[in-house]
A = this chain, B = another copy of it.
Amino acid sequence: MSTEDDRWFTEAQTEGVCLGLRLGREILARKTPYQDLLLAETTELGKLLALDGRIMLTERDEAFYHEMLVHPALLGHINPRRVLVIGGGDGGTLREVLRHKEVEEAVLVEIDREVVQECRRFLGPVHRGSFDDPRAKIVFQPGQEFVSNARSEYDVIIVDSSDPVGPNLPLFGEPFFRDCREALREGGTFVCQCGSPFYYPEELKEVHRDLGSVFGYVEVYLGFVPTYPSGLWSFCLAGDQGVPRVPLREPLFSTKYYTPQVHRAAFALPRFVEELLSQ
């Protein structure tokens, strides 16, 4: 029954496909210097964070994304002591990084101070105090600027950006990937999300190609995030000394999505993704 209290957040996932989430209370809606920020309760999926009209997370499925962005890179690295996160102002990626006891320092570089400020305030179950962890350092700066000043400093670099539009555009493409390569220590691993291979195959294809022209090894793997376009989500791992497709250690923490078996299985690509990458 539709009433005036029946409010929906609708994301145009493509020109012809949209996903709607029924809303409860709106928490916050404002323009930051960089983007439109919305925080609201949904009726079924916990709190929603949207930037420029795109769903960044819901509390109910954010762990699927954050676990699959972080754990294959960190469990595939022999000793990930220093980790750099570009973007990820909600703190979910930082939270998963800090669950690895090998991590001595995690630097989060976010362009938009207000995202961190409001997520810190309203999304406790997402960041779970990770912003205040003694191993965490938060820097407000454009990611590409920060990375271009780093040399052989990080074991793992994680790019937790939204799509290659607006403030995230400089976080895609060869120049940025070259800087990331320079910022990695020997044996370092780079990982980024590459969008929906079903609705946005070109995005994955380009990132895969550009990473391949910078790093010696690139591997694509997939995860499932219900509130992202199509539900199927792609990630690229890259490095110069090979990229393990298996975990090197058992995870010593509980998860909602990740398992060592899921980690191995995530590299089995559906035929249409294989074909896309071989074109």
Report which A residues bind B (CB closer than 8 A): 8, 10, 14-22, 42-45, 61, 64, 198-199, 224, 226, 230-232, 254-259, 261-262, 264-272, 274
Contact = CB atoms under 8 A, between A and B. Distances in A.
A269 to B, nearest CB: 7
Contacts of A42: 16
Contacts of A274: 259
A177 B92 CA distance: 43
A19 B22 contact: no
Contact of A16 (B44, B266, B268): B44
Contacts of A16: 21-22, 42-45
Given A16-B21, A16-B22, A265-B268, 10 more contacts: A8-B18, A16-B44, A17-B20, A17-B21, A19-B20, A224-B224, A255-B271, A258-B271, A261-B269, A262-B269
A17 B19 contact: yes
A43 B15 contact: yes
Please give the count of copies of this chain that the complex contains.
2
Contact of A45 (B17, B22, B261): B17
B231 A257 contact: no
Contacts of A262: 268-271
Q: Which of A10, A21, A267, A271 has the most CB of B within 10 A?
A: A271
A66 to B, nearest CB: 13
A203 to B, nearest CB: 16
Contacts of A21: 16-17
A217 to B, nearest CB: 19
28 contacts: A8-B18, A10-B20, A14-B44, A15-B43, A16-B45, A17-B45, A18-B20, A61-B198, A198-B226, A224-B231, A226-B230, A226-B231, A226-B232, A231-B232, A254-B271, A256-B270, A256-B271, A256-B272, A257-B270, A257-B271, A259-B270, A259-B274, A262-B268, A262-B269, A262-B270, A262-B271, A264-B268, A265-B267
Nearest to A260: B268
Contact of A224 (B19, B20, B232): B232
